[in-house]
Structure 1
């Protein structure tokens, strides 16, 4: 039997796929640890991206992430090159990280229709145990890491090749994004667009209460608010927006800012939301 390489664009999705095929030695999984919804992509250059993330996450526990993940990132691109192995690419266009990773992967392919895809943007049908209704329910994830391994395994018969028109559309979309100057990409009406960090900073400020609370709780609230329909960004990125608000004096803080788990925050009395957001870079 031909070996199959299952390809994902977040480590959480990769972990779920590994669990889904754990008892099948001919099924392999590769997951990209590089968040391509952030940082320079034209060109895709490791040193430039490392500088971007080290600057973005400076003085936090996330600062060494890119350097630590770089060997795995390099290995991902080596393992997923065209070969005799069947390749199935998994993603949802409701995740900015997964969609961006898929577009970069596609742009590297000599034949963008050679591999298969499983696009779960429209969700999966599942049947719950002990439910009186025998019909399936539709579960629509905003990232593949939300789905159980069994649900993912049940989707393998949905694998298909892209049409030429689909591939051309995706390649045009990525080329358009590569020609933009902004280094943040978020989803709007199902497509990726360049944006500025202040767009996501609003959700962070709204989540900061007047009383002292854990920064981790604030980021959790903001992540939920920004992920109602799409998974726009990571909690680490939102934490950088909280730290910026602290530096601006819009949020007060106590504790060690290296980690969101060790920091307490509350909204400053001086906040004027009408004046705040235009100045956030």
Structure 2
């Protein structure tokens, strides 16, 4: 039981959903078969039980899988990056190159574009951030000390970086990765390792964009593995940080972590704090431009509105924050609701009439 608790405690939000969905699907299949038996139960259970056992084995191996990517004494490179999606793509490419023994990863799993960052280097600040997510973001259902555990793990991994390893910080043209870059540089302190910074999105745009076919990446998690492969081959062309650069980025972290806001954007090469309702008018404009389905009395699924907002937004904010603001517009009386706001797919909205 202790081993199970340890494995579960390492899961991220999206992993919890994935495991739970697959396990419940397996149990549902067992239930359906049990109600239609013509032969002994044991003959019907083999495949579903095997799948459940496979899920169990996969879950229990997660701690070892994650530990494999932690910095080690013989690491030649340590990559610091934001987001599990980008981290998954990076792992795949490193495996393809056969670099897994010497290239290790430190993944910053939080979205630093949203939520308070004030005093994040203190337990009080981390609790404030964790509390804000639990109060405002429906998808955030992790344990109360999740932020504290993530931060402790980050510090431990940074401490494990050997002196000879080159540190590669990946960033992008968005507030989350830019803030993550500043946090990483700040926490690295006065280490003597060579630190280089790479923008995978900018590299791929330069390599692959054509006048008639181009993609502008809002965040690195959007980059497919085949294109990321080309970016990874250009490590030596990364921007090497000088002592002045390190001091500037560290001070940049102190600046944003001294602010009390909960929303940040990246504009004109600057990380800016903006009001919490910054995107409310944008959401309402999108709502007015969408055609509700016939026979639904003008109500539109909130998931469609949020999807539209994400699709046309030049910033990487994340669907959770947009959905949070939709609910705030409901609470303030600007929007009407039909359904239960437990998740986007369960309720619809429209402009309040009268």
TM-score, L = length of structure 2: 0.65
Bigger strand share: 1
Counterparts of 1:148-163 in structure 2, within 5 Å, are 148-156=224-232, 157=234, 158-163=237-242
Quote the residue 1:147 is aligned against. 223
Task: Say which is worse superposed, 240-249 or 185-194, in terms of deviation.
Answer: 185-194
- The yes-or-no answer on 1:10 pairing with 2:97 is no
In the aligned structure 2, how far is the partner of 1:201 from the partner of 1:77?
Answer: 36
Quote the residue 2:310 is aligned against. 223
Are the aligned partners of 1:207 and 1:221 in contact in 2 as well (CA < 8 Å)?
A: yes
SS of equivalent residue, structure 1 residue 89: strand
Quote the residue 1:279 is aligned against. none
SS of equivalent residue, structure 2 residue 168: strand
Counterparts of 1:35-54 in structure 2, within 5 Å, are 35-37=111-113, 38-45=115-122, 46-54=126-134
CA deviation string 1:133-189 (max 9, x = no partner): 9x9x87542200111112222223233421233323322322222332323222222
Computed over aligned residues only, the root mean square deviation of the Cα atoms, in angstroms, reads: 2.8
Are the aligned partners of 1:113 and 1:162 in contact in 2 as well (CA < 8 Å)?
A: no
SS of equivalent residue, structure 2 residue 279: helix
Structure 1 residue 48 displacement after superposition? 2.2
SS of equivalent residue, structure 2 residue 121: coil
CA deviation string 1:90-117 (max 9, x = no partner): 111x111111111111111123773222
SS of equivalent residue, structure 2 residue 278: helix
Quote the residue 1:274 is aligned against. none
TM-score, L = length of structure 1: 0.80
Flag as ranges the 4+ runs of structure 1 deviating above 3 A. Answer: 63-74, 120-123, 125-128, 137-140
- The yes-or-no answer on 1:238 pairing with 2:319 is no
In the alignment of these two chains, the number of paired residues is 259
For the pair shown, the structure with the greater C-alpha radius of gyration is 2
CA deviation string 1:226-273 (max 9, x = no partner): x32x32x11101111000001112111111211011111122234xxx
SS of equivalent residue, structure 1 residue 88: strand
* Structure 2 segments unaligned to the other structure (5+ residues): 1-73, 293-297
Structure 1 residues 113 and 186: alpha-carbon distance in aligned structure 2, compared to 1, 3 A threshold: farther
Structure 1 residues 35 and 14: alpha-carbon distance in aligned structure 2, compared to 1, 3 A threshold: same
Structure 1 residues 111 and 181: alpha-carbon distance in aligned structure 2, compared to 1, 3 A threshold: same
Structure 1 residue 41 displacement after superposition? 3.1
Counterparts of 1:78-97 in structure 2, within 5 Å, are 78-81=156-159, 82-84=161-163, 85-92=165-172, 94-97=173-176
- The yes-or-no answer on 1:212 pairing with 2:299 is yes
Are the aligned partners of 2:118 and 2:259 in contact in 1 as well (CA < 8 Å)?
A: no
Structure 1 residue 3 displacement after superposition? 4.0
In the aligned structure 2, how far is the partner of 1:110 from the partner of 1:171?
Answer: 8
In the aligned structure 2, how far is the partner of 1:195 from the partner of 1:11?
Answer: 26
CA deviation string 1:172-228 (max 9, x = no partner): 322222332323222222211111111122222222246222111111111233x32
* Structure 1 segments unaligned to the other structure (5+ residues): 271-281
Bigger helix share: 2
